Structure 1
Amino acid sequence: MKVLPTLLLILAGVLVGGTWSLHKQGAPRAAVVVVGLLAVLATAGGVLWLLPGES
């Protein structure tokens, strides 16, 4: 069962939404970049976890 990658991808979606919201509200650039990077890391982790490989 692939629960963790699903949770990571859901988290990535929330973080992308948060990044967009911060950007639209005029938050400091550093905050937008940090949340955006966390979104990228969560997406990468979720996708890489789903790739076939040794178990």
Structure 2
Amino acid sequence: MSVALIILGGILVGGTISLVKQGASRFSIVLTGVLALLALAGGILWMIPGEGS
């Protein structure tokens, strides 16, 4: 699952860069950037061993 989240985060980072280059609205850039950061953070946190598994 962590690999899937990191891949998704990478795709969203690329989308954010593309939106900036295209001059999209600030809302769409920020929203895509926040989703990218959440996906990357989730992927990294998922790799940390915990008590549940």
C-alpha deviations, 1:16-55, integer Å up to 9, x for none?
Answer: 0000000000000000000000000000100000001112
Query: Does residue 38 in structure 1 map to residue 38 in structure 2?
Result: no
Residue in structure 1 matched with residue 19 of structure 2 by the alignment:
22
What is the one-letter code of the residue matched to 1:30?
A: F
Q: What is the aligned-residue identity percentage?
A: 60
Unaligned 5+ runs, structure 1: none
Aligned Cα RMSD in Å?
A: 0.5
What is the one-letter code of the residue matched to 2:16?
A: T
TM-score by length of 2: 0.95
TM-score by length of 1: 0.92
Unaligned 5+ runs, structure 2: none
Aligned residues: 52
Q: Which runs of 4+ in 1 moved over 4 A?
A: none
